[in-house]
Amino acid sequence: MQPKALGLGNMKGNQSLDAFKLFLETPLDIRLSQALESEAPNKAVERFRQVSKTVPAYQDFLKAYQIHPDAIQLPEDFASLPPVTKTNYLHKYPLNALCRNGQLTDCDMVAVSSGSTGSPTFWPRFLSDELEIATRFEQVFHDSFQADQRSTLAVICFALGTWVGGMYTANCCRYVAQKGYPITVVTPGNNKDEIFRVVTELGPLYDQVILLGYPPFLKDVVDTGRGKGIDWSPFRIGLVMAGEVFSEEWRSLMAERTGVTDIYYRSASLYGTADAGVLGNETPLSICIRRFLSSHPGAAKALFGESRLPTLVQYDPMSRYFECENRTLMFTGENGIPLIRYNILDT
């Protein structure tokens, strides 16, 4: 029996090729320069129009609120749209109806949220959705670690499996490597002994080693390694973290225990969710500002309304368009399940 040839003329294949080609051929500085705040509201309106035409669940959602898509023409019209939530939208419709064209098979990966606010939720996505997020990883690797110039071992320490962190991070790091960065990805997951093995055996072959994981787990890795006699300083360790807010005292402690001296350029936190990947990322500038506020609690309270430091990140409004109503954060962005004014229940 001869194998059937799918060819590259099919729509899904073409979309993959186009998205990957755009990612590979667009320099990071060009991509970041496109993030103009003034254009973002119009981009959000454009995204709404596309979703209202292609996503069955959102079409029904608009009908229930007696909203005709043609009535949404301007950013102020967009701002009047009812927010979507897990209760009024995501848990109300079948998974396929939430996807583009009502086709779950238009996606090629499914992740599962942790269920910390209820039952776990399935989040499908397509290659183009991951490439959108890969730019955030590229920004971190380029601006914080100069990984375009230094050979880099990226060690994925997030749990692997259906949970979003591990596989999503591994994929995005690999896309950045395929763009030409001298990055090699290795995936020990949350197996500490395997992390120690790959770092000690492979680490000396690279200019730097970047550990990507959940902050408390990375601290456990560093401390346990020290207890086993591992000296982290020769590996030129960098940290990429997501999933929990940490203090600047914690960052300083981790820098001390890994032998880091240039603290602004050896760590970066990601603001990420299972719902939509990475929404924002720390930069050397944002870290500098946060560390200043950490040592000036009065300024922090004046700025944030409380002395406890929140996550402070930079974001691309053309990729994830944020709005705030009554201190509640909403965002609009393209995903396997496109989200329009999604109330993420963060403040």
Beta-sheet pairing, 320-325 with 328-333: antiparallel
Look up residue 219 and give its two tokens: 């601290």
pLDDT in tens, 254-294: 999 999 999 999 999 999 888 888 999 999 999 999 999 99
For 346, half-sphere exposure in the C-beta direction (CA atoms, 13 angstrom radius) is 16
Q: What is the separation of C-alpha 103 from the centre of its chain, rounded to a whole number of angstroms?
A: 24
Look up residue 150 and give its two tokens: 């230094």
User: Cβ of 140: how many Cβ atoms within 10 Å?
Assistant: 26
Q: Are 294 and 304 in contact (CB under 8 A)?
A: no
pLDDT in tens, 222-262: 999 999 999 999 999 999 999 899 999 999 999 999 999 99
pLDDT in tens, 128-169: 999 999 999 999 999 999 999 999 999 999 999 888 889 999
User: What is the four-CA torsion angle of 341, 135, 54, 325, rounded to 10 degrees?
Assistant: 0
Does the pTM surpass 0.85? The reply is: yes
Is residue 8 very low, low, confident or very high in pLDDT (cuts 50, 70, 90)? Answer: very low
- pLDDT value at residue 1: 52
Strand partners, 331: 322, 342
User: Cβ of 243: how many Cβ atoms within 10 Å?
Assistant: 18
- pLDDT value at residue 146: 97
- b/e 307-318 (16+ beta carbons within 10 angstroms → b): eebbbbbebbbb
CA–CA gap between residue 40 and residue 35 (Å, rounded):
8
- pLDDT value at residue 4: 52
Give the containing element (helix H, strand E) for 44: helix 40-54
Q: What is the separation of C-alpha 73 from the centre of its chain, rounded to a whole number of angstroms?
A: 29
Mean pLDDT of 90-114: 91
